[in-house]
A and B are shown apart, each in its own frame.
Chain A
Amino acid sequence: MAAKRCADNLVSTRPRKVMRIVINSWSRFMPPYIPDDVMFNILSWLPSKSLVRFKSVCKAWHAMISSPCFIDAHLECSKRNPSILMVPGAYEKQEDGENIAFMMGLYKYHGGKTMELVHMQNFSLGIGVWTRPVHCNGLLLIPTMNLEMMICNPSTRQIVFLPKVSGNICTGTRAGFGFDPHSNKYKVARSFYQRDSETQELVCKFEVLTLGTNAWRQTEDPPYPIDALTPVHVKGAIYWIVCSSLCPDPPNAFL
């Protein structure tokens, strides 16, 4: 009798047993309650790719992941495990009938000579020639062929277009992109040349866009003509190189 029951069990419970193990391992994994602050810390370790997906877990997670406070914490965590993203200063043009696609490859650098293509981004508006993408905190600023610029977040693949810039003659325009820790905002600064209406001379102008606002704000004219070289952003300040051919005694750089 006992043996028979045993055999019965073996046959009948096998699939159920598997089920039970699955449920058990999940329920063991599932703690009774994870406080929000603990969950906040767990999520801040996740790669952006997972976070984008987890926005649709529930309302609370969506709100947490989208909050500026979480984004800051996530950036801090990411800085502890940095990865190098390589963006070649060139793009591929793919013509397909009438459509022209501008492809920019984003590569993750693994050290040595190895790298991996993580994403091929198509920028339909085209990418400006002679300009280099500039980056700040993992965001890329890419000038387009016309008077627009866009900011791309390579990890979420989001692209934001910036408002059109003021008219200017196209040569020698360069943009810098940085994070201002005082106002906690990202800013795009750009130098360009304009022909003075009276003297017809080229004047170097400067304008700044604070992300989140919708307009470029012209600042004071720079004290020296700026060279057509991509500026560098270090610790909240953007450094530009002064055009030495137009200025006899230039300082090395200025903010």
Chain B
Amino acid sequence: MATGSGAAAAAADAEEKESGSRMITLTSNEGKAFVVTEASARQSATIRSMVDDGGCVDKGFPLPNVDSKTLARVIQYCDEHGNKEAHTVDERAALAKFDKDFIAELDADKAFLYDVTMAANYLHIQGLFALTTQCIADTIKGKTPEEIRTAFGIEYDLTAQDEEEIKEEDTHA
């Protein structure tokens, strides 16, 4: 009995080790293949659930919504967060610094920042999505409603009465 459970544990351990070192192929919408570690791919909840459901790990995952440039950048994030430990204070500080530099670079190119945000949303990479949405929020924080409408191409659909009611809400309520 004892040997049996010991063997089972060893088997599970071996399987875990194996799954930890398994490689997964992600394919961009241009057909370019990116090979990543499973730990890195598991940063994406979308891929994680497909892998856990015993999906097509060997065949790889086609990502029709993500282009190569964006995918490469997303993988850069996943590699850092998936393959490195974050147990000690130093390790966590290193990751925080990585995030800071990563987002500073993205912030310089808003169109790309948007692409990465959409990819993070599609792939459900929580940490990356929080990072990029927070960055966009910082960009629009001090803007006026008019500037926001221009920035996001939003049509102005409030009547004078609506405006009045919103103002009213803010002073009383």
A38 touches B110 (CB 8 A): no
- Asked if A41 is at the interface of the complex by the 8 Å CB criterion, the answer is yes
State A50–B156 Cα separation when bound (angstroms). 18
Binding site for A on B (CB under 8 A): 110-111, 114, 117-118, 121, 129-130, 133-134, 136-145, 148-158, 162-163, 166, 169-170, 172-173
Chain A residues within 8 Å of B130, by CB: 41
Known: A31-B111, A50-B142. Contact between A42 and B162, CB under 8 A?
Answer: no
Q: What are 7 of the A-B contact pairs (CB < 8 Å)?
A: A31-B152, A42-B137, A46-B140, A50-B143, A56-B166, A58-B158, A160-B173
A31 touches B114 (CB 8 A): yes
Q: How many residues of A contact B (CB 8 A)?
A: 32
State A35–B118 Cα separation when bound (angstroms). 9
Chain B residues within 8 Å of A35, by CB: 121
**Selected contact of B121 from candidates A26, A38, A60, CB within 8 Å:** A38
State A61–B166 Cα separation when bound (angstroms). 12
Report the minimum CB–CB distance from A70 to chain B (whole Å): 13
**Selected contact of B110 from candidates A28, A50, A62, A158, CB within 8 Å:** A28
A30 touches B137 (CB 8 A): no
Q: How many A-B residue pairs have CB under 8 A?
A: 83
B114 touches A57 (CB 8 A): no
State A61–B138 Cα separation when bound (angstroms). 17
Report the minimum CB–CB distance from B22 to chain A (whole Å): 31
Known: A45-B133, A53-B145, A160-B173. Contact between A58 and B156, CB under 8 A?
Answer: yes
**Selected contact of A57 from candidates B110, B139, B148, B169, CB within 8 Å:** B148
For the complex with contacts A35-B121, A45-B137, A158-B172, 15 further pairs of A-B residues with Cβ separation under 8 Å are: A37-B121, A38-B118, A41-B121, A41-B130, A42-B137, A42-B140, A50-B140, A50-B141, A54-B148, A55-B166, A55-B170, A59-B162, A62-B158, A62-B162, A158-B170
State A86–B37 Cα separation when bound (angstroms). 48
- Asked if A3 is at the interface of the complex by the 8 Å CB criterion, the answer is no
State A2–B8 Cα separation when bound (angstroms). 82
* Max chain B Cβ within 10 angstroms of own Cβ: one of A53, A56, A59: A56
Report the minimum CB–CB distance from A161 to chain B (whole Å): 10
- Asked if A34 is at the interface of the complex by the 8 Å CB criterion, the answer is yes
State A50–B143 Cα separation when bound (angstroms). 8
State A53–B153 Cα separation when bound (angstroms). 18
